């Protein structure tokens, strides 16, 4: 693989990482957090990238052995949504560095399809090093043009996941018009209702439960806690897509009978989910055994997702 733009990763077999044994090419750093739209270095998973062809890139990432949200409660496995977040960060990184999208632009996620292979998501004795082969396509050449990309995620040569993402970038002026004056300073989230039990949705902490019960067993209210350090790594004027995907994951855990969380997601983001409006999450079983999750605000569908536990 061509030399990455960040310094090379630690060898996978390294057992002694004392400074006297390291050379410059052994050292690893994350990419600048601003390039992946993160405030915390701990939430920045990408470590480098290089162009390998026209609209094609190799991206490297490192996953921590412990994480509040993205590692299973028993710390044995990485969560599929960690793969989703890693793929999401690739889109932001490459849009800014390779397609001249300014840092001030906002990204509007439209579609996400991902299938993960849980047999390759075990947590090992050192942080996992992953490699992504990312292939971009564009509907136009303007900075605000629609961007699409496919990603093949591998770990130690084994395929961890395949993904497809579609999004657009929007300049600051256009975004302000689009949001009609809504900003993190002018919009407040609703009070957070009591949640379901953490064990019911395969979570370790009550703070990570994003669904509150209703009178119906297939319908829940979304819990939007803007103090959550992962979902709200920085202030937002809307509900983030990763929170909606987590809601789909938890609803599928409640609706289905799989012993572990789902492994594949096909999501469509129809409109902004507003912080100051109640969001209702409903689940139904499809004809092929998958779970269909729909999130609504008022009469409008803001998000829908097909979730599958195939292969578990």
pLDDT in tens, the chain (312 residues): 444 444 333 333 334 445 455 555 566 789 999 999 999 999 999 999 999 999 999 999 999 999 999 999 889 999 999 999 999 999 999 999 999 999 989 999 999 999 999 999 999 999 999 999 999 986 555 545 789 999 999 999 999 999 999 999 999 999 999 999 899 999 999 999 999 999 999 999 999 999 999 999 999 999 999 999 999 999 999 999 999 999 999 999 998 755 567 899 999 999 999 999 999 999 988 767 789 999 999 999 999 999 986 544
Q: What is the model's pLDDT at position 21? A: 56
For 178, the token pair is: 């689009």
The DSSP output letter for 10 is P
Q: Which of 232, 235, 241, 237 is nearest to 269 (CA)?
A: 241
- Which residue ranges make up each domain of the chain? 19-176, 183-308
Q: What is the model's pLDDT at position 4? A: 45
Give whole-number Cα distances, 125 to 43, 237, 302, in Å: 20, 39, 40
Give whole-number Cα distances, 27 to 8, 11, 48, 147, 235, in Å: 6, 10, 12, 32, 32
Q: What is the model's pLDDT at position 13? A: 39
Q: Which residues, at least 6 apart from 253, have a Cβ–Cβ distance to it below 8 Å? A: 200, 201, 202, 261, 262
Sign of CA dihedral 38, 123, 249, 304: positive
CATH hierarchy code of domain 183-308: 3.10.129.10
Please say whether the beta carbons of 134 and 57 come within 8 A: yes
Q: How far apart are the first and last CA of the chain?
A: 32
CATH architecture of the domain covering 19-176: Roll (3.10)
Q: What is the model's pLDDT at position 310? A: 54
Residue 223 buriedness (CB in 10 A; 0-12 / 13-18 / 19+): buried
Domains 19-176 and 183-308 share a fold: yes
């Amino acid at each position: 693989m061509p030399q990455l733009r960040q310094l090379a990763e630690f060898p996978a077999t390294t057992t002694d990482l004392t400074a006297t044994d390291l050379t410059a090419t052994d050292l690893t750093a994350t990419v600048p957090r601003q390039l992946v739209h993160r405030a915390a270095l701990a939430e920045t998973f990408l470590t480098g990238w290089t162009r390998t062809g026209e609209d094609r890139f190799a991206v490297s990432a490192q996953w921590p052995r412990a994480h509040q949200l993205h590692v299973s409660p028993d710390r044995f496995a990485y969560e599929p949504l960690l793969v989703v977040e890693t793929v999401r960060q690739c889109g932001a990184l490459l849009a800014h560095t390779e397609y001249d999208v300014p840092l001030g632009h906002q990204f509007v996620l439209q579609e996400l399809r991902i299938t993960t292979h849980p047999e390759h998501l075990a947590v090992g004795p050192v942080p996992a090093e992953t490699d992504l082969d990312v292939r971009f396509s564009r509907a136009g050449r303007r900075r605000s043009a629609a961007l699409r990309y496919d990603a093949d995620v591998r770990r130690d040569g084994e395929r961890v996941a395949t993904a497809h993402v579609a999004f657009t970038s929007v300049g600051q002026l256009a975004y302000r018009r689009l949001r009609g004056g809504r900003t993190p300073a002018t919009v407040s989230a609703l009070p957070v209702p009591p949640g379901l039990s953490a064990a019911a949705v395969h979570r370790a902490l009550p703070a990570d439960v994003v669904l509150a019960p209703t009178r119906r067993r297939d319908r829940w209210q979304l819990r939007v806690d803007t103090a959550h350090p992962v979902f709200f790594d920085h202030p937002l004027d809307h509900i983030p897509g990763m929170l909606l995907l987590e809601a789909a994951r938890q609803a599928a855990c409640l609706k289905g009978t799989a012993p572990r969380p789902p492994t594949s997601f096909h999501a469509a983001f129809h409109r902004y989910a507003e912080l100051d409006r109640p969001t209702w999450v409903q689940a139904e079983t499809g004809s092929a055994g998958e779970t269909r999750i729909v999130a609504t605000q008022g009469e409008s569908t803001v998000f829908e997702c097909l979730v599958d536990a195939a292969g578990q």
